[in-house]
Structure 1
Amino acid sequence: MVVKIKMRIWIDKDGQEIMGPGIYNILKALEETGSIASAARRLGYSYKFIWTYIKKLEEALGVPLVESRRGGKERGVSELTEVGKLLLSYYEAMSKEAEQVVATWERRFSELLSNLEQYATKPSRDEEEIPYYEEE
């Protein structure tokens, strides 16, 4: 028997989502590729979707998350700001801690479920079984 607990983490500020699996993936891809366009291709989104998402998040937080420089031969480069890197770092740490808690509870639930038979009610021999009754 395999028990699996599923959990995702979202962080809201004043009712607006500021961090979750989606924005984490966007910021991580941007950090790894150094380009909004490359991050968009990697994740299967349009450039405009990624750019708009980041701008909305920057507006909600009141700080820049990405610095972009236009480039000649190398096209453009986009890098996470210190705040962008902190968001990734905090989210990764929080996710790691949550995974440890989930693993503990998966073990506990596995133990509980494998011992459920002790809680089953067993009919006594003295009890009469009630026959099935069907109206005509």
Structure 2
Amino acid sequence: MAVKVKMRIWVDKDGQEILGPGIYNILKALEETGSIASAARKLGYSYKFIWTYIKKLEDALGVPLVESRRGGKERGVTELTEVGKLLVAYYESMNRELENVVKTWESKFSELVATLEQYSKEAKEEGGGEEIPYYEEE
């Protein structure tokens, strides 16, 4: 029996999403590839979708998240600004912390489910059963 607790993080500012799994994946792909076109290919999105999404987010935050340079032998580069890198780092940090919380609750729910299974077996065998223990904060 495997009990899984699943969670995702979204950060809103004035009701508008400014960070979540989608924008994190976009910013991370940009950081890794150095190109909007390459990030779009990697994620299966169009160039226009990613560019529009980033611009919308920049407007909501009031700061640039990417910086593009054209030309040269590298055919142009798009890099995250310090704010873009900070958003990626914060999101990764929040996810690491959340993973620890999730592991704790998976353990607690595993114990509960095991207790329920035992209770169910006893109830069927005896026509009744003991009271299910209630979880209390430590």
- Mapped partners of 1:101, 1:71: distance in 2: 46
Identical counterparts, % of pairs: 77
Question: Which residue number corresponds to residue 132 of structure 1?
Answer: none
Distance 2:78 2:127 in 1: 70
Cα displacement string for residues 15-41 of structure 1 (whole angstroms, at most 9, x for unaligned residues) = 000000000000000000001111001
Report the residue type matching 1:49 in the other structure: F
The gaps in structure 2 that reach 5 residues or longer are 129-138
Q: Which protein has the bigger helix share?
A: 2
Give the residue type in structure 2 aligned to 1:79: E
Q: Which position in structure 2 is the counterpart of 1:77?
A: 77
What is the one-letter code of the residue matched to 1:43?
L
User: Post-superposition shift, 1:71?
Assistant: 1.3
Q: Structure 1 residue 72: deviation in Å?
A: 2.8
Shift of 1:103: 0.5
Amino acid paired to 1:11: V
C-alpha deviations, 1:61-115, integer Å up to 9, x for none? 0000000000133211000000000000000000000011000000010011101
Which ranges of structure 1 fall in alignment gaps of 5 or more residues? 125-136
Aligned to 2:38: 38
Moved beyond 2 Å, runs of 4+: 117-124
Aligned to 1:19: 19
Q: Which residue of 1 aligns with 2:10?
A: 10
- Find the aligned partners of 2:104 and 2:40 in 1 and give their Cα distance: 36
